Amino acid sequence: MARFLQVILFVVFATNAPAALAQPYVNLLQGSDLNHWMKPSGDPVTAGWNLEPGGVLHLSGKGGHIITRQEYGDFELWFEFRIAAKGNSGVKYRVQHYGKQLLGIEYQVLDDKAYPKLTRDHLTASLYDLVTPIPGETRLNGDDEFNIGKIRVQNNRVQHWVNGQLTIDEPLCGSRWQAHVAASKFSNKEEFGENVMGHIMLTDHGSEVWYRNMFIRSLSCCNSPQREDRRRDSRGGRR
């Protein structure tokens, strides 16, 4: 599976050379430390999350949530993940403070078969509690195998994939998005998910989870004029 993801990334670089050269992928799990990551307090990651041989990030104890030191606007993120039996985790993005809470929209990572009563907007590769996956059945690998996830956010549009299957394709603004938020647990969070910048977060919900081959690149160079207007609005107040 690791080699498979490397082949995919090679194809991406080869077929999108100008964009890839302008905004190269960064390996968020490169080296022997977690220098791309920190605790929400800003402290370094020191416990719970362990970078094992082969570049596998393993949450094996109480580590708490961790976030990227860098914030991202438009981006493309590839990653492999595996979750323990009955496990629950997730990759959040556009993470920012809503009052005292650090929240973001989430690519759900779950042992789906252990939760047969959950609605599909809470299962793997959904946009958690907000948007139901497009396909009726999610294409997942076996218990001991890694799955390949992909998140792409660009020009107020988010897409999720798992193992090559598109599961989410949704705008992050307008009446449709606002209706999703109003029907969710985030209904009391003003303008939830409409911010144009934020951290990537790996969540700790008390379950063992493994990540590897986590590559990200900024797509901000490809922003539309409208996108730039929204970014300026977010800095100087909404019109």
Element (H, E) at 50: strand 49-52
**Mean of the pLDDT values across residues 114-127?**
97
What range defines the domain where residue 166 resides? Answer: 2-236
Q: CA-to-CA distance for 158 and 229, rounded, in angstroms?
A: 19
State yes or no: pLDDT of 222 exceeds 60.
Answer: no
Instruction: Work out the mean pLDDT of the chain and round it to a whole number.
Output: 87
Whole-number pLDDT of residue 17: 44
Question: Could you give the C-alpha distances from 192 to 44, 92, 99, 127, 180, in angstroms and in order?
Answer: 28, 13, 12, 13, 10
* Number of domains, the chain: 1
Whole-number pLDDT of residue 48: 94
| Residue-wise pLDDT tens digits, 144-186 | 899 999 999 999 999 999 999 999 999 999 999 999 999 999 9
- pTM of this prediction? 0.84
Whole-number pLDDT of residue 6: 54
- Residues 6 or more apart whose CB falls under 8 angstroms from that of 156 comprise 171, 172, 173, 227, 230
Whole-number pLDDT of residue 156: 92
- Residues 6 or more apart whose CB falls under 8 angstroms from that of 52 comprise 58
What are 26's strand-pairing partners? 216
State yes or no: pLDDT of 204 exceeds 70.
Answer: yes
Element (H, E) at 138: none
Domain CATH code at residue 185:
2.60.120.560
- Residues 6 or more apart whose CB falls under 8 angstroms from that of 145 comprise 1, 82
Whole-number pLDDT of residue 9: 52
User: 79-111 burial, b for 16+ CB within 10 Å, e for fewer?
Assistant: bbbbbbeebbbbbbbbbeebeeebbbbbbbbbb
Whole-number pLDDT of residue 53: 86
197 contacts 235 by C-beta, under 8 angstroms: no
Number of H helices, E strands in the chain: 4, 13
Joined together, the tokens standing for residue 33 give 């430390």
State yes or no: pLDDT of 15 exceeds 80.
Answer: no
